[in-house]
Amino acid sequence: MDERRVVITGMGAITPFGVGARKFWENLGQGNSGATLITAFEVADLPTRFAAPVLLDDRELDPLIENQKSLKTMSRSAKFAVIAAKEAVDDAGLETNRLNPYRFGASLGAGGLGTWDLDHSQQTLQIIMDAVDRSAGQQLDYAQVWRNTLDRLHPLSPLKSLSNIPTAHIAINHNARGNCQTITTACTSSAQAIGEAYRQIKFGIADVMIAGGSDSMINPYGLVAFSLLGVISKNNAEYRTAARPFDRRRDGFMLGEGAAIFVLEGLEHCRRRGAEPYGEIIGYASTCDAFRLTDEPPEAWGSVEAMKLALDDARLNPESIDYINAHGTSTKMNDKTETLAIKKVFKAHACAIPVSSTKSMIGHLVAAAGAVELAACVLAMKNQVIPPTINYLEPDPECDLDYVPNHAREARLNVILSNSFGFGGQNACLIIKRAEGIAHGA
Amino acid sequence: MKIKLTEDEIFATIAAGVAEALRVDAAKISMASRLFLDLGAESIDILDIRFRIEHALGFKIDQAALIRSLGEGLSAGQIQEQLTLGSLVAYVRQQLQQQP
């Protein structure tokens, strides 16, 4: 089959460090942390009271959305996606009116969305509370709950909770009429979305794709849900340094939120319009552990095979990888199993590869994690600097790779692997390569 | 209880809701403004506008009756042509008058 080369020509991000890919790198490259105590809602009685939020509320986010009428159908996550997509398209210098719209698509990873946004969930709770009041506090009048819901919830609020609405807004805003898809595979969502977009171009189905992911789970439901599952750090006393992937003292991840969106296009398309790419996507693979919902198999077969298949797709041997951006959640299980998986794939070379987790700085962005971490890789490659794993103090005997502890490191970065693993046994690996001179025939 | 509002007051209430729902300048809205064709509404905006009017005026709008008030058996295109601020004001005024 005729295969096309796929390059990244635009990038946008909204992260705990603010709006824009530039701000993201300015902080990431410095080893800064987005950790903060949560003040946007009541957390006094929750086991976890910190996160790495995007420190912008609706009053600050809404003016960044061009189509103001669309705001009423946008969750917080959708706003992140639309803002980052605009940045990416502008950054790529893409004149979307000059594209064949049916060969221009979008592929986004998405998570829980508006059902759990703070305003919506608190309004729903109020409706339920009112139904209690009307039955003298004795019991819940369910009929009243549903009547109140119909009468008082905004009729468009259900649209905020549909996973494909951010993708639809992006398609509308940029006139992408080709294949538009939304992938919801938990923490692997956006890595898979980017990988599938890469395949659309590689196999000649699309010329240009807007690809990435967005998520916002720093809300009462998100905190409670991840607490129930026992995967989030409870180290409130040391919240500034609690996200500590691969460290012996780690006790779970810190929640983050945000989005990263890319413009991907075929190399020839990029050359024709004279764009300058950030890099080339040369490998992608996705596997499923088919083992247990949240446990990784002790032998790490799914993540091992995803890395191997991505290397095969890139036609590279393991020694070619200059840096691995790990999934590195800071949970006991992930970091140990990912270390094992890297050792199985890279064998003796594993200890020579720098492996870092940017989740130590920005937390776990769940459905957006893979996209934001690919943005970290693209920026690392551009700047030839490896972002560190911060908060790393005590080595774990079961995690014995070079985790680039605490300080960014200058390095020659030609090829980078980004890992994303998620609940449901989902694994996705992306490999990017430096593209200097590629636009001019190199 | 019967709500006594003048036509101007009803128009002002509806126009405020329409302006907010469609993010258009209230000064550009007149009785002759067509929601779809002049003000850029899409079908979900009508749900939004209805919600805003219901909450501002405290009564439920029967959307089917509202559409019938524009004329019997209208096509989708004709409804888009007919649905003006003026038609909304007339419908709301009639409903308010009929309230006990």
Look at residue A2 in the predicted model and tell me its pLDDT.
75
What is d(CA A435, CA A77) in angstroms, rounded to the nearest whole number? 31
- How much is the average pLDDT of A358-383? 98
- What residue type is assigned to position A386 of the chain? I
The candidate with the shortest Cα–Cα distance to A372, out of A212, A200, A161, A246, is A212
B40 near A CB under 8 A: yes
Share the mean pLDDT of chain A.
Answer: 94
Determine the pLDDT at residue A135.
Answer: 61
What pLDDT does A434 receive? 97
Instruction: Give residue A1's pLDDT band: very low, low, confident or very high (50, 70, 90).
Output: low
Q: What is the mean pLDDT of residues A308-327?
A: 97
- The single-letter DSSP state of residue B30 is -
In this prediction, residue A292 carries a pLDDT of 84
Nearest CB to A156; choose among B23, B40, B47: B47
Contact A69 B50 (CB under 8 A): no
User: Do B44 and A69 make contact, defined as CB atoms within 8 angstroms?
Assistant: no
Using a CB–CB cutoff of 8 Å, tell me whether B23 touches chain A: yes
Contacts of B44 in chain A (CB under 8 A): 73, 155-156, 159
Give the range among A104-113, A131-140, A418-427, B48-57 with minimum mean pLDDT.
A131-140
- The average pLDDT across B55-68 equals 91
The token pair that represents A161 in the structure block:
């909770």
Q: Mean pLDDT, to the nearest integer, of A9-36?
A: 97
Strands A426-434 and A18-19: unpaired
Mean pLDDT to the nearest integer, A125-138: 76
Short-list A265, A208, A252, CA closest to A359: A252
Q: What is the pLDDT of residue B1?
A: 43
Residue A170, pLDDT above cutoff 90: yes
pLDDT for residue A438: 80
Q: Which residues of A carry out catalysis?
A: 187, 327, 364
Helix axes A76-92, A165-174, angle to 10 degrees: 30
Q: Is the pLDDT of residue B2 over 70?
A: no
- State how far the alpha carbon of A3 is from the alpha carbons of A195, A315, A439, in Å: 15, 13, 17
DSSP-derived 3-state class of residue A232: strand
Please report the pLDDT score of residue A297 as a whole number.
Answer: 87
Spell out which residues of chain A touch residue B51, defining contact as CB-CB under 8 Å: 154-155
Which of chain B's residues have a Cβ under 8 Å away from the Cβ of A154?
48, 51
* pLDDT, mean of residues A272-279: 96
- Measured between CA atoms, the residue of chain A closest to residue B23 is A69
- What pTM value is reported for the model? 0.95
Sign of CA dihedral A93, A96, A98, A100: positive
Span A311-337, average pLDDT: 97
Considering only CA atoms, which of A280, A306, A305 is closest in space to residue A415? A280
DSSP β-ladder status, A208-216 and A104-110 = parallel
